[in-house]
Structure 1
Amino acid sequence: MNKKRDVKVVAINAMIACVYAVLTILCSGLSYGAIQLRFSEIFIFLAFYNKKYIPGLIIGCFLANIPSPLGFADIIFGTLATTLATIVMYKVSNLYIGAIAGAVINGIIVGGELYFILHLPFFMNMFYVFVGEFIVLLVGCFLFKEIQKHDDFMQKYLLS
């Protein structure tokens, strides 16, 4: 990689992190807790197309979890969930499988976090987090399927 390309990748990751964090915080009423629709999670599909976007997604999640009502635990476990979801998203070859895997990972980790921190029923919270995440990621599947129809956009922005 040349220096110019390295700077471009860092800048793109900074933008991804910023948009992820700001969108999560702006929608904070839906972003935190047992029943959550974290719309910024749609961005984890960027990892499906190119692993170079994973750092921005992880940093964005980390920043978004700083104001979480669950505090330090959400910074650690929420960021861990997104980290694992982005890695799996990069490794799978089907958007829908990636969506299911991401929802399961978040359901287990964040459901466990809610269980240990707030002493809420594990399986109920795992299910709630899974459903919220799955809804968001299903929307993301349809969104990215539409984006895939535009080869010029895909080549210029997602795959390069």
Structure 2
Amino acid sequence: MKSLTSRDYVQVALVAAIYIVFTVLPPFNAISYGPYQFRLSEMLNFLAFYHPKYILAVTLGCMIANFYSFGLIDVVVGGLSTLIFVSLGVKLFKGYQKDYLFKGQLNKAFFYFSIFFALSMVTVAAELAIIAKAPFFWTWLTTGLGELLSLLVGSLVIEKLGQRIDFRR
């Protein structure tokens, strides 16, 4: 990635702030933490398909939002998981971004990424099993399903916004 401009830093900060608001503030906070999660903010992960700077944005947003749950351990686990799995997911599925599953409604890159990222909730399940003594497999299932649903809904939102806003700049 080339060096970032002042405009890029402002966009990173704005996306991170939106992630935090959609995770930490009521009513979103009630469904954003614990073994049953539906983080609306996760839709912002798809911005990374438009420009790599958004990987930094969602990682920072996730780290700050996670500080409000289990503290520093959640900042590290959630932040590293976001950084690794968003980066890897974009690398694996970016080539499918122009292909659609249903007549322009859901692009394959976003769909495949949603499944991949939902499976990555194994890290959240492991953390919650250790810290909160939550049952590992049940927590993986519930956080994975919540992640999958929030990402599928978010993919449609970001796809529509991407048709009107140039996220590549």
Deviation at 1:45, TM superposition (A): 0.3
Equivalent residue for 1:159? 168
Output the amino acid matched with 1:103. Answer: A
Equivalent residue for 2:63? 62
Deviation at 1:89, TM superposition (A): 3.3
Deviation at 1:22, TM superposition (A): 1.5
Q: 1:114 aligns with which of 119, 125, 128?
A: 128
Q: Where in structure 1 do 4 or more consecutive aligned residues deviate above 2 Å?
A: 144-148
Deviation at 1:145, TM superposition (A): 3.2
Deviation at 1:90, TM superposition (A): 2.1
The whole-number CA distance in structure 2 between the counterparts of 1:44 and 1:71 is 22
Deviation at 1:146, TM superposition (A): 2.6
Percent of residue pairs identical: 32
* TM-score with structure 2 setting the length: 0.83
Output the amino acid matched with 1:22. Answer: V
Provide the secondary structure at the position in 1 that maps to 2:134: coil
* TM-score with structure 1 setting the length: 0.87
The whole-number CA distance in structure 2 between the counterparts of 1:119 and 1:19 is 31
Provide the secondary structure at the position in 1 that maps to 2:5: helix
**What does 1:89-100 correspond to in 2, within 5 Å?**
89-91=89-91, 92-93=93-94, 94-100=109-115
Structure 2 gaps, min length 5: 95-108
Deviation at 1:81, TM superposition (A): 2.0
Equivalent residue for 2:49? 48
Instruction: Determine if the alignment matches structure 1 residue 73 to structure 2 residue 73.
Output: yes
Would you tell me which structure has more helix in proportion to its own residues? 1
Distance 1:46 1:89, change over 3 A: farther
Provide the secondary structure at the position in 2 that maps to 1:44: helix
The whole-number CA distance in structure 2 between the counterparts of 1:18 and 1:144 is 17
Q: Is the Cα contact below 8 Å between 1:47 and 1:53 reproduced in 2?
A: yes
Q: Is the Cα contact below 8 Å between 2:44 and 2:158 reproduced in 1?
A: no
Distance 1:2 1:41, change over 3 A: closer
The whole-number CA distance in structure 1 between the counterparts of 2:148 and 2:44 is 13
Structure 1 gaps, min length 5: none
